């Protein structure tokens, strides 16, 4: 088995004894032959080769869990970036700015993640009352 697949298998804690490995072999008419070694375990990924290309077959439940974990991580990352962008601009009420920012992002219907610093700068320009004006505070002293 490929060293990379061996490493992934070890990282996931799948021992050689519990591991199912496979080989894919092309046949005619867009068909493939799957041959496997080991006791078939449908709760863990199977690792194998298609020619010299390493592959994995993953149970649908596990695949869904991985996709959901990635979506959650992406959402958390987005929220942390938005929080940072808002806080750098000294909001008077963080929650109000957050709500306006989310509405602005939804309204613009971005195809990919927007530049959050630009979104907050636009909000600050259109709604200056949501942010502290340090020039006026410093100028009053």
Given this model, what pLDDT does residue 114 score?
93
Examine the pLDDT at 1 and tell me if it is beyond 70: no
pLDDT digits (tens, 9 = 90+) for 114-124: 999 999 999 99
Span 53-78, average pLDDT: 93
Assign 45 to helix, strand or coil.
coil
pLDDT digits (tens, 9 = 90+) for 22-41: 888 889 888 989 888 878 88
Round to whole Å and give the CA distance between 45 and 14. 9
Given this model, what pLDDT does residue 18 score?
78
Round to whole Å and give the CA distance between 4 and 51. 15
- C-alpha 69: how far from its chain's center? 7
The residue among 96 and 24 whose pLDDT is bigger is: 96
Span 7-17, average pLDDT: 82
Given this model, what pLDDT does residue 7 score?
83
Q: Which residues pair with 54 in a beta bridge?
A: 49
Cα Rg for the chain, rounded, in angstroms? 26
Structure tokens at 30: 């867009």
Round to whole Å and give the CA distance between 118 and 54. 42
Per-residue confidence band for 78, with pLDDT thresholds at 50, 70 and 90: very high
Examine the pLDDT at 141 and tell me if it is beyond 60: no
- The answer to whether the pTM exceeds 0.75 is no
Examine the pLDDT at 139 and tell me if it is beyond 80: no
Per-residue confidence band for 140, with pLDDT thresholds at 50, 70 and 90: low
């Amino acid at each position: 088995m490929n060293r990379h697949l061996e490493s992934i298998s070890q990282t996931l804690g799948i021992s050689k004894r519990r591991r199912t490995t496979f080989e894919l072999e092309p046949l005619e008419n867009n068909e493939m032959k799957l041959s496997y070694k080991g006791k078939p375990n449908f709760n863990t990924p199977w690792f194998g080769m298609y020619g010299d290309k390493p592959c994995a077959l993953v149970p649908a439940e596990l695949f869904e869990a991985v996709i959901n974990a990635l979506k959650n991580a992406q959402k958390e990352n987005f929220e942390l970036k938005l929080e940072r962008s808002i806080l750098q601009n000294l909001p008077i009420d963080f929650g109000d700015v957050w709500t306006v920012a989310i509405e602005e992002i939804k309204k613009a219907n971005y195809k990919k993640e927007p530049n959050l610093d630009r979104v907050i700068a636009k909000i600050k320009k259109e709604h200056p009352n949501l942010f502290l004006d340090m020039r006026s505070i410093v100028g009053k002293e």
